[in-house]
Structure formats: C-alpha cells, structure tokens
Amino acid sequence: MKTSCDICVIGNGAIGKASALALAQTGLEVVLVAPGSAAAAGASAKPLSDTDHWDHRVYALNHVARSLLASLKVWDAMLVARIAPVDSMAVQGDASDPSGSLSFDAYAARVGALAWIVEDSNLNQALDAALRFASGLKIVHGAATALERTADAAQITLDNGDIVSSRLVIGADGAHSWVRTQVDIGMDYRSYHQQAVVANFESEHAHHGVASQWFLGADGIVALLPLPGHRVSLVWSAPDALAHTLLAESAEQLAQRLMALPGQTLGQLRMLPPAVPKSFPLRLIRTHSLIADRVALVGDAAHVVHPLAGQGMNLGFADIQSLLHAIGKRDQPADCGDARTLGRYARARKEEVLLMHIATDGLQRLFTSELALVRLLRNAGMGLVNKLPFLKRRLITHALGPSLSTHTDS
Ligand SMILES: Cc1cc2nc3c(=O)[nH]c(=O)nc-3n(C[C@H](O)[C@H](O)[C@H](O)COP(=O)(O)OP(=O)(O)OC[C@H]3O[C@@H](n4cnc5c(N)ncnc54)[C@H](O)[C@@H]3O)c2cc1C
C-alpha cells in the first residue's frame, strides 16, 4: 500500500508521538511509523489504574513540556493522582563538606512548581489515547527498511512492502536512530561507563515535594525524586562496577545505602514492588547536525545527555516546539520540508542543545573527579551560588525551560 502525506514521523517513543500529534494539529497530514504489528500494540495497551505498580521510568518534566502536552490535551488526560510536583530541589556536594550544598524552590522562582515527576506509562497512555482521536493522523506499523530522497520529497519503505511518501521525514527513533544513519548524519559518542540504577521506595517520613540529589564523587550521583504520597523514585548514576553491585544486592541493602546518605530525612525506606531495580547505560551523543535534505531529527535521535539534570526528554519537547514554529513560518504553504524551514529549525535549537551538552557533561566530570583541588573548588562553588540570589535565579530560569521562565502555572 502507498500512502502520501506531508510529514512521516519515524519512532513511537513519547517524542515521536507528541511530534505527530502536534504537527497534525496544525492541519498537516501526518503518518506515524511505529515498529511491530498493530495487534501487538493493541494487546499491550492495558489501561493504567491508580493501583498499578509504580513505573521504574519516571521523568522530571519542565514547564515547556507541560505547556506543549497541555496544548495537545495530553497533560489533563494523564492520571493526576500519579503525578508529583517538585516544590524544591536540594543538592548536596561532597559528604565530607557540608558547606557545598545548594537549594532551589518554586516560591523563590515565582512558579507553582519547579517540575512534575511523571511516569513513562502514564505519559504514554495519555499520548496513545490522544493519537486514537487525532484527525489528519494515521499510524502505520512496521520497520522502516529504506529511505530515498528526491529534491522535493522523501519515501520510506517498510518491511511489509508499504510505502510512505512525504515532504518531510522526522527521525524520532531514539539514541540508535535508523533515520540518522540513513542520511549520514555523523555524531560524537562517548560512554560514561555508568549505569542509571532505578527503583521506587516507600518512605517513613514525607518528602514535602523535595527532589534531592547527592554528588558522591567516585560513587556517582544519587537522585531521589518525589512521587505522590510517601514515595520516592531513585535514579543512581553509578560507575559500571558499583552498578553491578547495587543490582546484585537485596532490596534491603539498597535501601540501607540510601538511608545512610548524609542529610537524608526520609527515615526508613522500603523498595516498592516489583522490588527489582532496573538499569540503563549512560552515554553522550552529540550529532553533527539536526537536519539533512528532507529530514529533521528530534529527541534522543538528535541528542543524548546525562540524566543528572533530568533534561533529555524536556529537550525533545523543546525540539517539537521549535519545529512547529519553523514549519509555521514556512515560505511555501505546500512544502513543510524545504531547506529554509529546516535551517530555521536547526538554528533555533543549536544554542540550547549545545549548552545542555556542555552543562551536563561538565557537571558530570566536575562531580566525579576525586582530585582534592577539584573537590574543594566544587564545594566552594556550590556554597557561593547558594548565597547569590541573582545567579541562582538564572540557573532556575534555565532549568524551568528557557521560553517559559515566566510561566506561573501550578
Ligand atoms: C535513567 C534516566 C532518567 C531520565 N530522566 C529524565 C528526566 O527526569 N527528565 C527528562 O526530561 N529526561 C530524562 N531522561 C531522558 C529521557 O528518557 C529521553 O530523553 C527520552 O526518553 C527520549 O525519548 P525519545 O522518544 O526521543 O526516544 P525513545 O524513548 O528511545 O523512543 C524511540 C522510539 O523509536 C522506536 N524506533 C526505533 N527504531 C525505529 C525504527 N526503525 N522504526 C520505527 N520506530 C523505531 C523505538 O521503538 C522507540 O519506541 C532520562 C533518561 C534516563 C536513562
């Protein structure tokens, strides 16, 4: 079967789904290519309920992400009882130096919340529901096997023989992007030799909406993010060897390690079912371009950053926003994938993506160094930033999402 459309989105992660929804909402004809069969997708679409286990994968979504998802009617379709606002952040430098700490709060930033902790399953369920009702949007199932481009169109062939012809192809197919390799966009790749060990815990004391982070030098970075009720979600970016140890330990042993963190106020911790942590390898991917003829990359296909600042998914939502803007300003209404439109998108994203790479990679290096002088300087630096309201406000503004720093939603 052959389908013609304006835009073909490859990839059905949260960023691919949100891209397809957002572009269809502008009146363009969109096809979303999702791997696997329609039957398998339908079978796995079990509705999430308030009593389901807490998802290992959670994201701290910022104001840009929330605003985009609200405009797609996805934010309000999520189960609100499973979302926790982040009211403040407490960052602890080296345990040996209590002066090296930093805190931010929503009140000082004049916003209702710094971010919201959302489960992957909650987000994807709401995106799937919106996809079912979207007009101008078609989902085709299959694996893309060939991408051919002419001056004014691109053609995708799927493994079942179906063909999708479009003006623009959006590569939203994650860190190992097939689209990126088809159009020869190069990249710098570096493994951090770390794994993010994730699990959820019930706590004795309330977290009061505080997201806590500990920089533990050679032992990596621990984040405890608030979930609704007396629950927190752990993301421990641990060097490979330690990660293997943590994964091999019992739930009680991992809880003991967290209870021993300096300044930890949650009291007793108990791992929530399924009481088995998961892990994700951590790496940096810096692509040499976000565009090629008739192609734009978004989300992890375009950039992968260390999760220490919880910004990877947020960057993807900001990509979508920039793409919408660039396509909205296109010179020829009939062509949404011409070089000028794509150039506008790439220029709009260049600075933020570069800054996020520099910031996350730099912080990761700074806080895993064991050199005594580096330790002294990082603790002094954190203590200093904490005492300088202007600098602190600039940092918060950036974390909230550059284009929505004045947003006051709660
Ligand atoms: C431990 C950890 C914690 C994180 N915490 C945060 C956080 O707090 N906040 C935040 O903003 N970000 C966070 N991130 C980053 C975030 O997880 C990613 O940036 C985000 O999931 C990327 O989404 P994506 O849709 O671009 O890619 P993916 O989720 O990887 O989706 C890509 C999709 O493309 C599909 N696909 C692949 N190849 C093909 C093909 N050939 N044809 C069709 N489909 C294909 C795949 O099946 C997949 O569904 C975290 C990351 C980690 C590892």
**What is the separation of C-alpha 381 from the centre of its chain, rounded to a whole number of angstroms?**
27
- In whole angstroms, what is the distance from residue 229 CA to residue 160 CA? 47
CA pair distance 11, 1, nearest whole angstrom: 20
Distance of alpha carbon 257 from the chain centroid: 27
**Residue pair 330/341 in contact by the 8 Å Cβ criterion:** yes
Residue 348 half-sphere exposure, CB side, CA atoms within 13 Å? 22
> What order do you get walking across the sheet with 163-166 strand by strand?
2-4, 163-166, 154-158, 144-149
DSSP state letter for 53: P
Cα separation of 275 and 50, whole Å?
Answer: 18
Measure Cα distances from 246 to 94, 134, 204 in Å: 20, 43, 22
Confirm or reject: Cβ of 277 under 6 Å from ligand 1: no
Alpha carbon distance 406, 110 (integer Å): 8
Output the CA 348–ligand 1 centroid distance in Å: 22
Ligand 1 contacts CB of residue 311 (under 6 A):
yes
Q: Which of 32, 55, 173, 247 to mutate to test the pocket of ligand 1 (most atoms within 8 A of CB)?
A: 173
Query: What is the 8-class DSSP label of residue 305?
Result: -
β-pairing verdict for 58-61 and 115-119? antiparallel
Q: CB of 172 closer than 6 A to ligand 1? A: yes
For ligand 1, whether the C-beta of 310 sits within 6 Å is yes
3-state secondary structure at position 367:
helix
Q: Which segments in the chain show pLDDT lower than 50?
A: 403-410
Q: How far apart are CA 225 and CA 6, in angstroms?
A: 40
CA distances from 120 to 55, 138, 180, 339 (A): 7, 23, 24, 34
Parallel/antiparallel/unpaired status of strands 187-203 and 154-158? unpaired
Strands 303-304 and 278-287 turn out to be antiparallel
In this prediction the pTM is: 0.92
Span from the CA of 217 to the centroid of ligand 1 (angstroms): 27
DSSP assignments along 74-112, one per residue:
-GGGS-GGG-EEE-EEEEE--TT-TT-EEEEETTTTTSS
User: Hey, which of 69, 128, 183, 300 would you mutate to test ligand 1's pocket, going by the most ligand atoms within 8 Å of its Cβ?
Assistant: 300
- Tell me, what DSSP letter sits at residue 327? H
Name the residue among 284, 283, 196, 281 with its Cα closest to residue 233: 196
Atom from ligand 1 closest to the CA of residue 300: 26
Whether the CB of 109 sits within 6 Å of ligand 1: no
Q: What six digits make up the tokens of 380? A: 């002094």
For the chain, helix (H) and strand (E) counts, in that order, are 11, 22
Distance CA 256, CA 277 (A): 14
Ligand 1, closest atom to CA 172?
26
Which of 159, 142, 177 is CA-nearest to residue 290? 177
Please name the amino acid found at residue 83: I
pLDDT attached to residue 115: 94
Question: Measured from the CB, is residue 299 less than 6 Å from ligand 1?
Answer: yes
The number of beta carbons lying within 10 Å of the beta carbon of residue 313 is: 23
CB-ligand 1 contact for 346 (6 Å cutoff): no
Distance 313 CA to ligand 1 centre (A): 7
Q: Which two tokens stand for residue 190?
A: 């570096």
Q: Alpha helix (H) ranges present in 206-311? A: 240-248, 251-259
> Do 83 and 112 meet the contact criterion of CB atoms below 8 Å apart?
no
3-class DSSP state of 33:
strand
User: For residue 43, which phi and psi values (nearest 5 degrees)?
Assistant: -65, -30
With a 6 Å cutoff on the Cβ, whether 178 touches ligand 1 is yes
Nearest-Å Rg of the Cα atoms of the chain is 22
184, 63 Cβ separation under 8 angstroms: no
Contact (Cβ atoms closer than 8 angstroms) between residue 87 and residue 52: no
The whole-number pLDDT of residue 191 equals 96
